[in-house]
């Protein structure tokens, strides 16, 4: 799951880093792929409570974005 989320980050972050709605959706899809509960894994896209935080190399919070929370 970590590798899948890392790939989403690498695929969606370029130039000035920022968290986009597309990134949130792709992270949700990556997490659902590993969800052992079929009913949880098949909920409508965009309904999963999800928060993404982006930190710089020093650990300082750059951005926090979420949905359904």
Range of the domain at 15: 2-67
Mean pLDDT for the stretch of residues 40-48 = 61
Predicted confidence at residue 29, as pLDDT, reads: 84
Calculate the average pLDDT of the chain: 80
Q: Give 69 or 65, the one with higher predicted confidence.
A: 65
For residue 59, pLDDT over 90 is answered with yes
Q: Please provide the DSSP assignment of 2-68 as one string.
A: HHHHHHHHHHH--SS----HHHHHHHHHHHHTT-S-HHHHTSPTT-S-EEEEEE-TTS-EEEEEEE-
pTM for the structure as a whole: 0.68
pLDDT in tens, 1-26: 889 988 888 888 877 778 888 888 88
Number of structural domains (the chain) is 1
């Amino acid at each position: 799951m970590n590798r899948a989320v890392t790939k989403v980050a690498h695929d969606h972050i370029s130039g000035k880093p920022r968290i986009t709605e597309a990134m949130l959706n792709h992270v949700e899809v990556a997490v659902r792929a590993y969800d052992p509960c079929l009913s949880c894994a098949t909920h409508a896209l965009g309904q999963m409570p999800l928060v993404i935080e982006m930190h710089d190399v020093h650990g300082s919070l750059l951005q926090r974005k979420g949905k359904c929370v």
